[in-house]
Chains A and B, each alone.
Chain A
Amino acid sequence: MKVITTTVINELHSIISEPERVLTDEADRYSYAFDASFGVYLPDVVVQPKSAQEVAQVMKIANQHLIPVYPRGQGTSLSGGPLPVKGGIVLDVAQWNQTLDIDTDNMLAVVSPGVLTAHINQAAQEYGLMYPPDPSSSHVSTIAGNLAENAGGPKGLKYGVTKDYVIGLEVVTPEGEIIRTGGKTVKNVTGYDLTKLIVGSEGTLGVITEATLRLMPQPPASQTLMAMFEDIVDSGTAISKILSAGIIPAKMELMDQASIVAVEEYEPLGLPTDVEALLLIELDGHPQAIAEEMTQVQTLCQEVGARQTKIANDTEEAQELWRARKLVSPAIVRVKPTKISEDATVPRSKIPDMFRRLKEIKEKYQVDLVVFGHAGDGNLHPNIIADKRDNEEMQRVEQAVGEIFEAAVALGGTLSGEHGIGTMKAPFMELELGKVGLDMMKRIKQSWDPNNILNPGKIFPEPGQKLVLRDE
């Protein structure tokens, strides 16, 4: 690792017009040393750029001195995406949120990287439109971070993930050139699809400085149903039956018994604690269509053995039903403070198998494992609750997490449905992609970034790298 000299700091100052946007104080550097995953890595300097030109010049300086650069949004990443693992420069784009233009004629939004994802949807709603990707962190996470990690959310089942809404990007290459990919047209098949390549590349191929996003018409109505199942396998059957009946819910969320019990102990909502699973299903669309579909959904759930179903009569009742899901996070961390939130995803037909495997892993390693998540698209969130001060426990957790990934891949699934690979899952990449598959990805990285300047230490494992959740 290169140590940043005062010469470099001076060069950075000369290209960033306001001195307060170059942070070198120890307190400031420690404030950008973490994200929502694990580990603390101290950067040498934090730069807060506000234009593509500034980013381009930072990249040129970095290449000249061989200094690593890590783009960062608001650091909500659960996979370690923005962690400055090799020191160097953190590029904080969170304050670069000046552009948020809604183009109603083309149903597009043009945004600068630091715009919060929820703000895009809010702005679109004023015109009867919506930006569908809705990661749970959308009120905090920046669009650039969502683009880099290809974020998802509960609506993924019907509406897809971030990549399905990006049609154009302005990107600064690792060597400091400004390029544009895609454009403003929904159809665009000119050459390689660099837009899709950049989205989800976790800041390793370029720094996103502007994005053109597709918007959708806002559905006129929505309705929510909650169903309780004594057998978790029945809930899986209900999911397949609903989808094969031609109904695509906007959201289909699952909570397992452990999460229901935790919520009830935290704040009694009157949920039965003896059921193995709870499904929350939201339909959206034309009011008449969803009324009919909702009756169908209810019947299907009952037919496969749901003990109880409840349909919300209005928005307030719907919010009340969703409250259970919202309380999962605070409820489960009451037992122990450390939360390892995984997003291993399986084909939805394999959900019952995945549940069985998770149960075995929980018993084998004696870990506090709860499962909830986006059941409709197979994107489960096995969460392990632990205490990171307990070294012995964390070792067991590391082994359990490793086995969760192995199970997902073995069932034809993937390491990550929406959080990205970052530092956390890099050691498992070969498991999913194979040697050659991973090598093809590495070759792309090498040709884009010959000096390995941009976000090193992510996606690709270092030789012998293992999953580590402990500080030392």
Chain B
Amino acid sequence: MNNKTHTETGHTSLAYEETFDCVQCGYCLPACPTYQTMRKETHSPRGRINLVKMAAEGKVSLSQLQEPIDLCLGCRACETACPTNVQYGTILNSAKEAIQKEKNKSMGGMTKWLSHAMFKQVLPNATAMGVLRTGLYAYQRLGIQSLARQTGLLPKMLPESLATFERITPQVDTGSSPAKRPKKLHPKGKRAYKVGFFTGCIMDTVFTQINTLSMKLLQQAGCEVEVIHEQTCCGALQHHSGEGEQAKALAKRNIEAFESYDFDYIVNSIGGCGAALVEYDELLKDESEWCERAKAFVDKNVDISVILGQLRLPFKKRINKTVTYQPSCHMSNVQKRVQEPLQLLQSIPGIQYQEMPEKEMCCGSAGIYNLIHYEAAMDILDEKMKNVQQCTPNIIVTTNPGCHLQMTLGVERDDKSKDIQVVHLVELLAEACDLH
């Protein structure tokens, strides 16, 4: 084999070998939301794979690669369209890490400290997230702009995006703080499974109530549910920002934490975190002592819809509404749970389900993409809302906090908040079961 060019002149940390699996057929183009909105090959999966290859061969610089990689949502819809099973996620992450390493070299002290603080100290830290939660509560009282500007945590955020997100951030209710939630719930009736509940960080901060309801639903369906305090952040945001080492460290902490308990399943209600959790084996594939442990962890991790779909929920109310479903990309394309949430949704008495055209297209939320690339995300959201309009729902159901916020924003931007409600699947199930 002749890899001379690559190793001598290029960036060896890029997933160069994987790029050869791409036969450049272009079947991924129609599946890619950014190709649709940005209208050039540079922002298509095929284009990005080609650029990673060119960078690995030293033909283009990492700085040329940066914008196309930054603007990728990481929705991985291209992987489902690919006829030759190209591992786009691996190629994308390798590019993000290479770019981040380069940036870390040149980053100013303050920016570096802040980015590290955010990913390493804040997200994985329950106390810090508690503080953030209080902060969120405070900001909702006091106004976010000054706070965000002072902390500088989101330096690229535009005043417009701030104002928009401020409108849609759910009201933090101090009564439902994670701290006040029982750590263990006993099953209703005969125990079906013993499950560990994965809370996530943003989810448990912004959508605490959804986690609480998830646990109650599992309890109603016959599960013993426990929240263990040793768990930490899933590492998805770090990984997607090119901080692979931090992501690995968090993965190990989670594996260790859950290993010491004898759970049948580890359950979460967060499409994006779930995707990170089921790929821990991929993340740790080069570390021999962790491979097997990661695989065992992965096998136990499922989205809540998988467990609830296997058990019976005691529905008490009919919900006579027209409902459409916006599947989270990470749930569909990475966790490959396409049917489970949909079947569960359709099992709710009274529901009129209407399929949204192109429902598998990303809504533009993609972790913190919509904060960092506000305008690009809004273009993608506009495409999504055109499809929402075609099915005129009373309710849009999501399965991931990012999509939840983004769809709420879409409804708000269309001035439809009075007509269309955005809820997590768990909230709708809880309502039908009369749980609060």
Contacts and interface: CB of A to CB of B under 8 A. Distances in A.
A281 B24 CA distance: 29
Contact of B47 (A31, A116, A337, A338): A31
Given A31-B50, A389-B20, A116 B30 contact: yes
Listed residue (A46, A75, A339, A388) with the most chain B CB atoms within 10 angstroms of its CB: A75
Nearest to B43: A31
A305 B136 CA distance: 75
B50 to A, nearest CB: 6
B64 A26 contact: yes
Interface string A24-62: 011110111111100010000010100000000000000
Contacts of B190: none
A332 to B, nearest CB: 9
Given A36-B25, A140-B27, A75 B20 contact: no
A337 B87 CA distance: 12
B68 interface: yes
B1 A27 contact: no
A311 interface: no
Contact of B39 (A25, A40, A95, A139): A95
Contacts of B417: none
A30 B59 contact: yes
Interface string B41-54: 11010010011001
A391 B64 contact: no
Nearest to A90: B41
A76 interface: yes
A333 B1 contact: no
Contacts of B42: 23, 25, 27-28, 31
Contacts of A48: 39-40
Interface in B42-93: 42, 44, 47, 50-51, 54, 59-60, 64-65, 67-68, 83-85
Interface residues of A, number: 37
Contacts of B54: 30, 40
B159 to A, nearest CB: 24
B8 interface: no
Interface residues of B, number: 30
A333 B27 CA distance: 15
A27 B67 CA distance: 9
A389 B1 CA distance: 5
Interface string A67-108: 000000011100000000000000010010000000000000
B288 interface: no
Nearest to A329: B83
Contact of A26 (B27, B30, B60, B83): B60
A426 B23 CA distance: 22
A153 to B, nearest CB: 15
A337 B20 contact: yes
A139 B83 CA distance: 13
A224 to B, nearest CB: 21
Contacts of A398: none
Interface string B208-224: 00000000000000000
A329 B25 CA distance: 11
B260 interface: no
B3 interface: yes
A32 B41 contact: yes
Contacts of B68: 27
B77 to A, nearest CB: 14
B41 to A, nearest CB: 4
A75 B24 contact: yes
B85 A31 contact: no
Contacts of B27: 137, 139-140
B20 A388 contact: yes
B431 to A, nearest CB: 35
B63 to A, nearest CB: 9
Contacts of B20: 337-338, 387-389
A23 B40 contact: yes
Contacts of A388: 20
Given A27-B60, A329-B84, A337-B21, A36 B26 contact: yes
B30 A333 contact: no
B2 interface: yes
A71 B409 CA distance: 40
A30 B26 contact: no
A92 B40 CA distance: 9
A292 interface: no
Nearest to A333: B84
A390 interface: yes
A139 B30 contact: yes
B60 A330 contact: no
B29 interface: yes
Listed residue (B67, B83, B85) with the most chain A CB atoms within 10 angstroms of its CB: B83
6 contacts: A27-B67, A35-B24, A75-B41, A140-B26, A339-B84, A389-B20
Interface of B: 1-3, 20-21, 23-27, 29-30, 39-42, 44, 47, 50-51, 54, 59-60, 64-65, 67-68, 83-85
